[in-house]
Amino acid sequence: MGNMADRIEKYLKQILEETEEGYVTLQRAVLADEFSCAPSQINYVLDTRFTIERGYMVESRRGGGGYLRIVRLVVSPQSQFQLTMRQLIGEQLSHKQALGLITRLTDEKILTLREAAIVKAVLSRTSLGDVPEQDRLRASLMKYILATLCREDL
């Protein structure tokens, strides 16, 4: 059935799909009890699998009245996707962040698996070579790729 992190991720994605609001609000302790795990396991899943690059924003408040709010970021022609992504990418983009963003674009059906493979190859450490400013170059390339994806005349 997969490891604990996989099960927690699957559960959270399922309840996000079922909500009309586009977000869910949960309590970390209740979720940890439901999966019979430590709250740190919930934190791990949120920190690694519900990132902005993958299309989620997590708001968290700790303590007795604390909560977790997971918001699914929507990609649509009407949204300000390109602007949001450009701000998110900033001046530098690590290889790990790029892979997360490519995964999101694939999950959202914006990139096909073949296109994703091409983008991964272009942004890889190997193809960028020994450039001292590799993360800056990767960010610039990803911004151009996103601009191309958002063009309506293609």
Q: CATH number, domain at 64?
A: 3.30.56.130
Rounded CA-CA distance 122/125 in Å is 9
Residues sharing a CB contact under 8 Å with residue 150, sequence separation 6 or more, in sequence order: 81, 82
Of 24, 41, 72, which closes a domain? 72
Domain total of the chain: 2
Report how far residue 143's alpha carbon sits from residue 83's, in angstroms, rounded to the nearest whole number. 10
Q: Provide the pLDDT for residue 127.
A: 92
Domain range for residue 60? Answer: 4-72
Per-residue pLDDT of the chain (154 residues; tens, 9 = 90+): 469 999 999 999 999 989 888 889 998 889 999 999 998 899 999 988 988 777 788 888 776 667 888 988 766 554 556 666 766 788 899 999 999 889 988 988 888 999 999 999 999 999 998 888 999 999 989 988 886 776 544 5
Residue 85 and residue 145 in one domain: yes
Residue 36, by phi and psi: left (phi above 0), alpha (psi -120 to 50) or beta? Answer: left
CB atoms inside a 10 Å sphere around CB 110: 16
- Domain end, chosen from 44, 72, 100, is at 72
